[in-house]
Amino acid sequence: MIRAFYNRYISKDREFSKQVRMITGFTPREPFLYHLALRHSSLVTARKTSHRECNERLEFLGDTVLDAVVSEYLFRIYPTEDEGFLTEMRAKIVNRRSLNEICKKIKLDNLIKFNKTRKGQINKSMYGDALEAFIGAVYMDMGYRYTKKFIVSKIVVEHLNLDEVQDTIYNFKSMLLEYVQKEKLENLVYELVAEKGEGNDKFFKINVKIGSKVMGSGDGKKKKVAEQNASEDALKRLRVIGQPQKQEKTKQTASKFK
């Protein structure tokens, strides 16, 4: 029904197709897909059909395609780097903060339709989500080759400096929270499990849990540092970045608290 509605009136919406062409470099074959990609779930009232009337399904597809294209691109331009480096670089490129910024840089944010009366309730990731959905629309409309060209030329090359990306130090705690929210996992809990020493010699060990399961462990002279290290460990164990800590390193860390 929605497809028929949009396609019936698309001839009157030449401006929209023109804006899509300015962003992608080509004229859309199926404008309906791009309208749907830019339709936020806040506009949907019926929960049972919400996934068909907003961009969430296209976001799921676009997320997968984006990961594949960025992975291949990094694999080719960094032929001597290991899997850990490539995984961490990909995570820095496709994280929500980066995608939110790119969405605005390519002026895609101006095309997003959402319920303005609920603006205060809408997650800040709306822009990055819409970009992923838009990528999903490009893939469904034009296929992998065009999608790859769009991602590489219009997103990575034009809006990302990979040397700067490589040097970026991320807030692992925020990154883990973002991942948990995106994957709709249980709540994050940081738990102080050990505290040694006094004054400047104080040392903290913290576990981070997703729900009741311990996913990472970290230590440091400040609680905030220990939380960051625990978050980084969890991200590695979840294979969001790099590789999990080696067992030897874990044993060395544990020895400080014996």
- What tens digit of pLDDT does each residue of 214-245 get? 999 999 888 988 998 999 899 989 888 765 44
Look over the chain and give the mean of its residue pLDDT values, rounded to a whole number: 84
For 4-17, the pLDDT digits (tens) are 655 655 555 788 89
Query: Is the pTM here over 0.85, yes or no?
Result: no
Cα-based torsion angle of the residue sequence 148, 150, 152, 154 in order, rounded to the nearest 10 degrees = -170
What is the CATH number assigned to the segment(s) 172-255? Answer: 3.30.160.20
Q: With contact defined as beta carbons under 8 Å apart, do 252 and 219 qualify?
A: no
Query: 45-49, 96-100, 127-131 — which one is most confidently predicted on average?
Result: 127-131
Outline which parts of the chain fall under CATH 1.10.1520.10.
2-167
* DSSP string computed for 42-92: GG---GGGHHHHSSHHHHHHHHHHHHHHHHHHHHHH-TT--HHHHHHHHHH
pLDDT tier, 119 (very low <50, low <70, confident <90, very high otherwise): low
Delimit the CATH 3.30.160.20 region(s) of the chain: 172-255
178 in catalytic set: no
Look up 63 and say whether it is catalytic. yes
Q: Out of 59, 132, 178, 232, which one is annotated catalytic?
A: 132
Residue of 63, 129, 178, 233 with catalytic role: 63
Tokens standing for residue 182? 């995106």
pLDDT at residue 108 in the model = 95
Confidence at 194, pLDDT banded by 50, 70, 90: very high
User: How does pLDDT run across 64-115, given as a tens digit for each residue?
Assistant: 999 999 999 999 999 999 887 898 899 889 988 899 999 999 999 999 998 8
Domain spanning 2-167: which CATH class is it, in words? mainly alpha
